[in-house]
Chains A and B, each alone.
Chain A
Amino acid sequence: MSIDQIFILIAISAYITSTLALLIYLLSRERWARTIGIPFAFLGCITQFVELFVRWQTSHIWPLTNLYGSLSLFSAMSVAIFIVFALRYDLWFLGGFVLALAAGFLAYGLTWNEGYLPAVPALQSYWIKIHVPLVVSSYAAFMVAAVTSVMYLIKYYFEGVLDARLGRTGGLAAAAAGTAGSGSGDLGLRMQAGNPAAERVTISTLRDSPNIAIAAAHGDMLAQWLATLPSLAKLDVMTYRIVAIGLPLLTVGIITGAWWAKEAWGAYWQWDPKETAALFSWIIYAAYMHLHTRGAWRGLRSAYISVVGFASIMFCYLGVNIWISGLHSYKM
């Protein structure tokens, strides 16, 4: 077993361990699960970057010239981007999904690993060290955004279940009566509890449907679990923030790709399937950002667009590489 294979084995094992621990954390909010999951997520991510570096140094071949290398980076970058957001916004509860996908993509990438193949002439350019990492990082950001959106959709669905069970107005009435803290009417505002400055300061914030708090107070396990998740508004904002990282990366990726194409093929845009699929994905995320400026399109619709956007990214990344022949058919 070569050194880079050992690293890959460590990375996949770390991801699987972290996935299980963070899934337990998502469901139970047990601190020990989080305490185990986070270091393993770091370990897997760092090991993957080390593996890519070792592979580069031992073979003297830039590791991102084939699908295996790029999937490996995709997997590592998705975990890295997730870790950054999780550290900043405490998103560890999403880790189980992100790390499971990262492990899955890494394992799938291994099926394309044919060993060390030197780059074909078209890929022998310094642009490969700029363009590919940028584009793959944007894909990774969109994956994390899609996971946040899926979590939004899950919470939205279960909130709907609770609302159907308790009735939308019942919750507010109960909230007004003090069952679940002081609600503030039509905007669903609530005074913040547990605020260190709560004695002197009142801050109104946007929070969950009151029904979650009511049902949770009555011992409903689903509601208790939903109450541990961030509000839908926060999940929506989180998706927006991650897409706001991915879209500029994709834009720079397309621009650098166009510049490279100008050097390699003579035209910065040739309507190659990969180019056009990337453009298609860019259009979806540009539409997402446009629509997010309108209040009516935030939330549920934005979450759907984010999921559709990631599907288009997967088509652009894997579908075009594997099924459609073109200038970007670099599988091996």
Chain B
Amino acid sequence: MNAGSAAPELSLRAQIDEFVRDLANTFANILFAVSLFAVWGVLTLIGVIVDQNKDPSFYTANYAPVLARVVLRLHLDNMYHSPPYIGIIALILISLGVCTFKRVIPARLPPLRAVKIEHIPLNATLEVRGEERDVRERIARFFSDRGWQVRKRELGGVEWTFADKHNWARRGVLVAHAGFVIIAAGTTLYWWKGFSGTSAVLTGNTVTIPQTGTRVTLDRFHYRFDPIKTKSGIVYQPIDYVSNVRIVGRDGRERATTVRVNHPIDVGGTLYYQASFGHALNLTLTREGKAIRGVSTAPLMEGDAVPIPGTPETIQYERYVGTIDRKTGQPGPDPRANNPGVVLNFYEGDRLAGASLVRLGQSIDLGSGYRVRAAGSILYSGFEYRHDPGIPLVAIGAFVLLSGLCIAFYFLPARLYVRVDGEAPSWHVGIAATTVKGYDIFEEQFRALVEALERSERPPATAPVPQGQRAPSPIPG
């Protein structure tokens, strides 16, 4: 390789090095991290305000047309799983990592150096008497007795005393950053190895969980709503949702158990939760009094629809009504089964043609000889299952994060610079203080410390001074 081609190569490498250095400095910058926090915050807020994970028709129906278009085109309807959102979290984690290695870990104890006491905003001077060695020893002992780590150095021919406190707390930020990393690792572990899902089981039926092969049979589901008299009237307060199930795990052993809200069950490391319930509907469709072939007889869940063969029409089961008011024929507030019915929607193509409240056991005429009958309902229980091997890591990370925050917030690493000048028997003691959080936060402690030092150096009181006479000053001049 000749010299002519080596020069531009070095230059390119230097440029790359400089670029990497600049990039690392940017990511390690606190203002950059806070800017990322701000963007993260704004995106999070958008996710709070904009309804998430709804059908596109929801946005067109409920939002202004322009807003609906913006929401759908920018994918604001699924904010928390959108690439920009995940990207900003990734950038924050990168920033956190770079900052940890470039700023937090290298931030060691500042070197012991001479300072101009009066140039440090928190400074004090006091006059003490005694032999130089005694004065220095007394001052060093004063600070070490109060938990300060005292070191002496001769710098430029002057003897300095340095006192440090809570130096270990400088690592609080590092601990907090480590907590974040552990939480991120736990979350990643779930994405990598975990799974979750939902399953609705009709009373008396069995479902198999695809990921584990576990079979869940719902023997009975029951709920309890209590009518409570409030200032606004009767409120039907949900009190309990209970599923009596039999579960067969991978070991092939069947066990009967109960699943309640807040009381999930653990089957082979997968947790099963009581998530929802509902009333499945047995719908019978007839024409001229005869059952129509090809129409599914499976119970419908809320939101399910059945097409009417040979027509563009469909019937959708919208919701279950526990109590139909016998006087008005309208849905009543009581969700408990007492004159129950269902709301059915009728569609022509995509167009909603009408809706009807049908009592259970009754039928309605759809025209052209068609009749639909709400034959009966079956309770079903909705389970959520989740296998998350990252939870212990997330818990540890949360604990570490919290510990880091507490260390960083409640312990204040501080350093005192002490210099003794003068000539025997009178000495000027200059003290200055610096902390990692500036001066203001340490002002009160500094004042208290200096005043305590002054008191400790004050000569013992002699005979009481009679009223009207001046006490002799312990300090000449």
Contact = CB atoms under 8 A, between A and B. Distances in A.
Interface of A: 113-118, 120-122, 124-125, 127, 187, 189, 192, 195-197, 199-206, 233-234, 236-237, 240-241, 244, 247-248, 251-252, 255, 258-259, 262-268, 271, 273, 276-277, 279-280, 283-284, 286-287, 289-295, 298, 320, 324, 332
B48 A233 contact: no
Contacts of A195: 447, 451
A247 B404 CA distance: 12
Contacts of A241: 441
Given A113-B231, A115-B230, A262-B391, A206 B439 contact: yes
A233 B440 contact: yes
Given A273-B48, A293-B30, A264 B438 contact: no
A196 B123 CA distance: 17
B124 A201 contact: yes
B122 A255 contact: no
Contact of A118 (B34, B226, B262, B264): B226
Contacts of A247: 405, 409
Given A113-B231, A244-B409, A295-B438, 17 more contacts: A117-B230, A118-B237, A121-B241, A121-B260, A187-B121, A201-B125, A201-B451, A201-B454, A234-B443, A247-B409, A266-B273, A280-B45, A283-B41, A286-B37, A290-B30, A291-B31, A324-B48
B52 interface: yes
A42 B123 CA distance: 38
Contact of A276 (B44, B263, B401, B474): B44
A271 B451 contact: no
Given A117-B235, A277-B48, A324-B48, A201 B450 contact: yes
Contacts of B455: 197
A320 B447 CA distance: 46
Q: Which of A127, A287, A291 has the most CB of B within 10 A?
A: A287
A283 B121 CA distance: 32
B447 A205 contact: yes
Interface of B: 30-31, 33-34, 37-38, 40-41, 44-45, 47-49, 52, 80, 118, 121-127, 196, 226, 228-232, 235, 237-241, 260-264, 271, 273, 275, 384-386, 391, 394-395, 398, 401-402, 405-406, 408-410, 436-441, 443, 446-447, 450-451, 454-455, 458, 473-475
A205 B44 contact: no
7 contacts: A115-B228, A117-B228, A117-B235, A200-B454, A247-B405, A265-B273, A276-B44
A124 to B, nearest CB: 6
A58 B114 CA distance: 67
B230 A121 contact: no
Given A118-B237, A121-B240, A248-B405, A189 B273 contact: no
Contact of B235 (A114, A248, A251): A114
A240 B262 contact: no
A164 B285 CA distance: 84
A258 B405 CA distance: 18
A271 B410 contact: no
Contacts of B260: 121
Contacts of B125: 201-202
A118 B262 CA distance: 16
A276 B48 contact: yes
Nearest to A196: B451
B237 A202 contact: no
Contact of A115 (B231, B261, B454): B231
Contacts of A286: 37
B385 A266 contact: yes
Given A122-B262, A203-B124, A294 B30 contact: yes
Given A200-B475, A248-B405, A251-B405, A287 B37 contact: yes
Contacts of A114: 230-232, 235
Given A187-B121, A201-B451, A251-B405, A240 B441 contact: yes
Contact of A332 (B41, B122, B235, B441): B235
B196 A267 contact: yes
Given A117-B228, A203-B124, A320 B235 contact: no
Given A197-B454, A265-B275, A289 B122 contact: no
A158 B402 CA distance: 39
Contacts of A120: 237-239
A287 B34 contact: yes
Given A264-B262, A324-B48, A293 B437 contact: yes
A291 B31 CA distance: 7
Contacts of A200: 126-127, 454, 458, 474-475
A270 B124 CA distance: 55
A280 B44 contact: yes
A135 to B, nearest CB: 14
B42 to A, nearest CB: 9
Contacts of B230: 114-115, 117, 332
B374 to A, nearest CB: 28
A124 B443 contact: no
A160 B228 CA distance: 58
A268 B394 contact: yes
A290 B34 contact: yes
Q: Which of B260, B436, B440, B450 has the most CB of A within 10 A?
A: B440
Contacts of B401: 251
Contacts of A237: 440-441, 443
A148 to B, nearest CB: 13
Given A122-B261, A248-B402, A287 B440 contact: no
Nearest to B124: A203
Contacts of A290: 30, 33-34, 37
A290 B121 CA distance: 23
B76 to A, nearest CB: 13
Contacts of A196: 451
Contacts of B443: 205-206, 233-234, 237
A244 B408 CA distance: 9
Given A205-B447, A290-B30, A283 B44 contact: yes
Contact of A252 (B263, B395, B402): B402
A276 to B, nearest CB: 5
Contacts of B271: 266
A266 B196 contact: yes
A265 B383 CA distance: 10
Nearest to B238: A120
The 4 closest A-B pairs by CB, nearest first: A121-B261, A114-B230, A266-B384, A266-B273
A189 B119 CA distance: 10
Contacts of A291: 30-31, 34
A280 B30 contact: no
Contact of A268 (B232, B385, B391, B475): B391
Contacts of B31: 291, 294
Contacts of A263: 262-264
A280 B262 contact: no
Contacts of A115: 228-231
Contacts of B438: 295, 298
Contacts of B45: 276-277, 280
Contacts of A320: 48
A199 B271 CA distance: 72
A281 to B, nearest CB: 9
